[in-house]
Amino acid sequence: MREGCRARGGGRMECSWKTILLLVCASLGVQYTAIRTLRDSLSGPCRGAYRCQSRHHGDSRWTALCDDSWMPVEFPQKHILLFATTRSGSSFTGQLLNQHPGIFYVFEPLYHVQQAFTNSSSRLRRTLDRRALLGAYRDLLLNLYTCDLHFMENYIRPEPQDHITSSLFRRSSSHALCSPPVCLEGVDAVDPPDETWCPKKCGALNLTLASMSCLSRGHVAIKTVRIPEVGDLRTLTEDPRLDLKIIHLVRDPRAILASRIMAFSEQFHSWKIWNVTGRQPRYVDLSQITSTCKDMVASVETGLQRPAWLRGRYLLVRYEDLALSPEARVTEIYRFVGLEMEDRVRMWIVKNTNSNVSTPSEWNYKYSTTRDSRVTAESWRLRLSFDIVRTIQNLCNDTLALLGYSQVHSAAELRNLSRSLVEPRTFQPVT
Ligand SMILES: *[C@@H]1O[C@H](CO)[C@@H](O)[C@H](O)[C@H]1NC(C)=O
Ligand SMILES: *[C@@H]1O[C@H](CO)[C@@H](O)[C@H](O)[C@H]1NC(C)=O
Ligand SMILES: *[C@@H]1O[C@H](CO)[C@@H](O)[C@H](O)[C@H]1NC(C)=O
Ligand SMILES: *[C@@H]1O[C@H](CO)[C@@H](O)[C@H](O)[C@H]1NC(C)=O
Ligand SMILES: *[C@@H]1O[C@H](CO)[C@@H](O)[C@H](O)[C@H]1NC(C)=O
Ligand SMILES: *[C@@H]1O[C@H](CO)[C@@H](O)[C@H](O)[C@H]1NC(C)=O
């Protein structure tokens, strides 16, 4: 067979198998060297094992390389995206991943990208479109999934010096960034007391150490509320360097709104007036909740249609189901991402969901206080006036119907918590 590649009719290139192998080897070699360099400067032992990625069974080029195992390749094995919207319970859900000792969890790294773009010069801001911002988001996600945390330095303000920063958004939310080897003072706290404890205890963050910690954990989970639709993630699901699993967290839009009004008091001032007076102020902004609902429907429809690029990579989770039976839902989530559930995850659930079980060995469904959790999940029903609820129901009727949230038709029905508005639904994982 002739070496090299040659053009064929219709613009196709045909290459000899040797050339293909050489090209693949060269590209893997570059990545391998980069990872190796990082690893070599790590003093402690790395737990990550050499392995080929499992996702490319069907792809003969990768199968050949993986089966021979003469080319050690190291990637984090699982790449998990917790894909959610503001005030949909994503911090809680993120903690269920963060507690796993094998997972390197990052809380909303895209915050820095958005900040950087928002604060850039007005000329740039004018020319910046949605596509460019999403491109920057995806670049950062890809680099984080391959454990290059230095890539964050492009966006963090003030600019990190010598790969050191004190400005990483919500660092305390990430166990890996507050424990060895990143932080030698780091206690193995299951429950960090507040947002400042970690920077206080650990000092500034060394992003080189953070990259090493990422490599040593092997799995990377990232939470974001800044990607509008699951379709915006397509190039990442198709990237051969990744094995992406998307957990799409949704929540009743009426609950999301109630939570936003409480959390962002100033921004939602007119909603508070509406809530109290029962009259809709003319200047109330309905566009945000409307687009939240629209994006949610678009993503769920895409996910449940099972396009080839998303097959086996999409799991729809309703926050209310998670609140109602956390143990069952979390088990499902871990099965979906292909990891074993860990005791520390179970312990965290017990501590944070009113389940009265003291030790993991006594873990049992019947002990969980499902009633308490349900009341928490539906407490929005006591926080919104019926007039607001009716408006949201009209704006988001498709979302409510698709996700199985019942509408109410009177204030009495709204306040009567003895009937749940969360209809039982199962959304099968795409296989
Ligand atoms: C962006 O600009 C605002 C106001 O000019 C400032 O308060 C904020 O700290 C800046 N954010 C970043 C990340 O530089
Ligand atoms: C950050 O960590 C790396 C790896 O341990 C180390 O070589 C480097 O000196 C550290 N940087 C600073 C400024 O301490
Ligand atoms: C859990 O048990 C403690 C005592 O062991 C009790 O005070 C508390 O009320 C219980 N919580 C729930 C939600 O049942
Ligand atoms: C709306 O008003 C009710 C009282 O009518 C109050 O209990 C509730 O907290 C308010 N909700 C918000 C989100 O402020
Ligand atoms: C939602 O409302 C729109 C406009 O009122 C209507 O066309 C649509 O059929 C409704 N959808 C559902 C699921 O009821
Ligand atoms: C609340 O709903 C339950 C079940 O639908 C019903 O039996 C009960 O009468 C309602 N209570 C009030 C005060 O409307």
Q: What is the set of domains in the chain, with CATH numbers?
A: 5-42 (no CATH), 60-415 (3.40.50.300)
CB of 208 closer than 6 angstroms to any ligand 2 atom: yes
Tell me which of 112, 115, 117, 124 to substitute to probe ligand 1's pocket, judged by most ligand atoms within 8 Å of the beta carbon: 115
Backbone angles phi, psi at 48, to 5 degrees: -60, 135
Compute the distance between CA of residue 373 and CA of residue 58 in angstroms, rounded to an integer. 43
State whether the Cα torsion 361-366-372-375 is positive or negative. positive
Residue 119 has a pLDDT of 64
Q: Residue 315 — pLDDT band, cuts 50, 70, 90? A: very high
Closest atom of ligand 5 to CA, residue 400: 13
pLDDT at position 377 over 70: yes
Residue 347 has a pLDDT of 87
pLDDT digits (tens, 9 = 90+) for 217-238: 989 999 999 999 999 999 999 9
Residue 271 has a pLDDT of 97
Higher-confidence residue of 66 and 390: namely 390
pLDDT digits (tens, 9 = 90+) for 343-364: 999 988 887 776 544 333 333 3
| Ligand in closest contact with the CA of 408 | 6
CB 337 within 8 A of CB 245: yes
CB of 397 closer than 6 angstroms to any ligand 5 atom: yes
Nearest alpha carbon to residue 365 among 341, 349, 378: 349
CB of 40 closer than 6 angstroms to any ligand 2 atom: no
CB 77 within 8 A of CB 53: yes
Compute the distance between CA of residue 116 and CA of residue 419 in angstroms, rounded to an integer. 46
Residue 297 has a pLDDT of 97
Tell me, what DSSP letter sits at residue 340?
-
Nearest alpha carbon to residue 165 among 133, 197, 121, 209: 209
Compute the distance between CA of residue 111 and CA of residue 118 in angstroms, rounded to an integer. 10
Residue 193 has a pLDDT of 59
CB 319 within 8 A of CB 88: yes
Cα-based distances in Å from 400 to 194, 375, 393:
34, 19, 8
H runs (alpha helix) in 184-325: 197-202, 207-217, 234-237, 253-263, 269-277, 287-305, 319-324
Compute the distance between CA of residue 167 and CA of residue 204 in angstroms, rounded to an integer. 8
The β-bridge relationship of strands 314-318 and 13-15 is unpaired
Ligand 5 centroid from CA 175, angstroms: 44
Helix or strand holding residue 164 (H, E): strand 164-165
Ligand 3 centroid from CA 353, angstroms: 11
pLDDT at position 131 over 50: yes
Residue at 91: amino acid letter: S
Q: Is 222 exposed, middle or buried (0-12, 13-18, 19+ CB in 10 A)?
A: buried
CB 349 within 8 A of CB 367: no
Nearest CA to ligand 3 atom 2: 356
> Which residues form the pocket of ligand 6, taking CB atoms under 6 Å from any ligand atom?
412, 416, 418-419
Mean pLDDT of the chain: 80
